Amino acid sequence: MENENELMETTDTETADTEAADTKAADTQITNTEDETGEKRSFPTQVVLTIRTIVGAYVIYLAYQIITSDEEVTPWMWAAVVLFIVAGAALVIMSVKHFIMGEYEGGKKDV
């Protein structure tokens, strides 16, 4: 019985070490740099910005599908449409802005 408890403790420790290593690896995807005011700033990778743009466009597409569906659109669905359009547009606009301004890892503002 004691061997089983020791084995479980060892496994828990190894799992915690693996999770810590995974977290550290994920943190390296964002670069910390200082901006003009001397404050540290993190920039996402180009892949993250691309995924945000695609997700934002898809959310806008879902809103369009709700509007053009043959079924009756209830007030709750209209609320969802407005929320989807606002959230999707915000994702697309912010991501494209970051691309244009070079605010990504390896971009012109990542000095």
pLDDT at position 35, please? 53
Between 87 and 71, the higher pLDDT residue: 87
Query: Domain for residue 68, yes or no?
Result: yes
pLDDT exceeds cutoff 80 at 92:
yes
Query: Domain for residue 106, yes or no?
Result: no
Strand partners, 32: 42
Query: Domain for residue 44, yes or no?
Result: yes
Ranges 6-10, 27-31, 54-58, 66-70: which has the least confidence:
27-31
Query: Domain for residue 108, yes or no?
Result: no
pLDDT exceeds cutoff 70 at 98:
yes
Total domains in the chain come to 1
Among 80, 79, 98, 100, CA closest to 90: 98
Domain that holds residue 94: 2-101
Cα distances from 43 to residues 5, 20, 34, 82, 98, in angstroms, run: 44, 22, 11, 29, 9
pLDDT at position 85, please? 97
Query: In the predicted model, what is the mean pLDDT of residues 8-36?
Result: 50
